[in-house]
Amino acid sequence: MPGFASYPQLSFDEFVEALEQAVPSLPRQEAKLAQFVLLNLNTLGLETGKSLAARVGVSEVTVGRLLRRLGCNGMKELKELLRQQYTVASPAPEARQGVHRALEQVMEAEIGVVTAVFQQTTGADWERAGSLLSQSERIFITGFQSVRGIAEDFARRLSLARGNVSYLSPHDGMLAEWARIEGTTPGSDCLVLVDVVPYAREAIEVARLAREEERACIVVSDEYCHWSRGIADAVIYAPSRTGLFLESTVGISLALSLLVDAVAAAHPEESRERLLQWKAHAKRLRIF
Partner DNA sequence: CGCAAAATGAAAGAAAAATAACATTTGACA
Partner DNA sequence: TGTCAAATGTTATTTTTCTTTCATTTTGCG
Q: Which stretch binds a copy of itself (CB under 8 A): 7-15, 23-31, 67-75, 208-216?
A: 23-31
CB closer to a copy of itself, 68 vs 283: 283
CB of 12 to a copy of itself, least distance (A): 11
| Torsion, CA 98, CA 119, CA 164, CA 154, rounded to 10 | -20
End-to-end CA distance of the chain: 62
In the window 204-243, what residues touch DNA (CB under 7 A)?
A: none
CB closer to DNA, 75 vs 209: 75
- 200 touches DNA (CB under 7 A): no
Q: Residues 9, 59, 105, 119: which binds a copy of itself (CB under 8 A)?
A: 119
* CA–CA dist 266, 277 (Å, integer): 19
Length of the chain (residues):
288
Q: Residues 75, 103, 175, 209: which binds a copy of itself (CB under 8 A)?
A: 103
User: Which of DNA, a copy of itself, none does residue 211 bind (CB under 5 to 8 Å by kind)?
Assistant: none
Number of H helices, E strands in the chain: 12, 5
In the window 2-21, what residues touch DNA (CB under 7 A)?
A: none
Point out which residues pair with 194 in neighbouring strands: 143, 220
Q: Which stretch binds DNA (CB under 7 A): 8-16, 69-77, 80-88, 245-253?
A: 69-77
Q: Residues 12, 66, 110, 236: which binds a copy of itself (CB under 8 A)?
A: 110
* CA–CA dist 269, 161 (Å, integer): 10
In the window 37-56, what residues touch DNA (CB under 7 A)?
A: 48-51
The DSSP code for 121 is G
CB closer to DNA, 51 vs 115: 51
User: Which of a copy of itself, DNA, none does residue 168 bind (CB under 5 to 8 Å by kind)?
Assistant: none
Residue 231's contacts (CB-CB under 8 Å, 6 or more residues apart) are 204, 207, 208, 211, 217, 219
- 202 touches a copy of itself (CB under 8 A): yes
User: Which of DNA, a copy of itself, none does residue 59 bind (CB under 5 to 8 Å by kind)?
Assistant: DNA
Long-range contacts of 123-126 (CB under 8 A, 24+ apart): 125/234, 125/235, 125/236, 126/234, 126/236
User: Which of a copy of itself, DNA, none does residue 288 bind (CB under 5 to 8 Å by kind)?
Assistant: a copy of itself
Rg, the chain, Cα only: 26
Q: What does the buried/exposed string (b/e) look like for 224-238 if buried means 16 or more CB atoms within 10 Å of the residue's CB? A: ebebbeeebbbbbbb
- 152 touches a copy of itself (CB under 8 A): yes
* CA–CA dist 153, 158 (Å, integer): 8
Q: Residues 17, 20, 27, 105: which binds DNA (CB under 7 A)?
A: 27
- 29 touches DNA (CB under 7 A): yes
* CA–CA dist 141, 173 (Å, integer): 13
CB of 113 to a copy of itself, least distance (A): 8
Q: Is the CB of residue 205 less than 8 Å from the CB of residue 226? A: no
CB closer to DNA, 58 vs 161: 58
- The footprint of DNA (CB under 7 A) covers 27-30, 48-51, 57-62, 64-65, 73-76
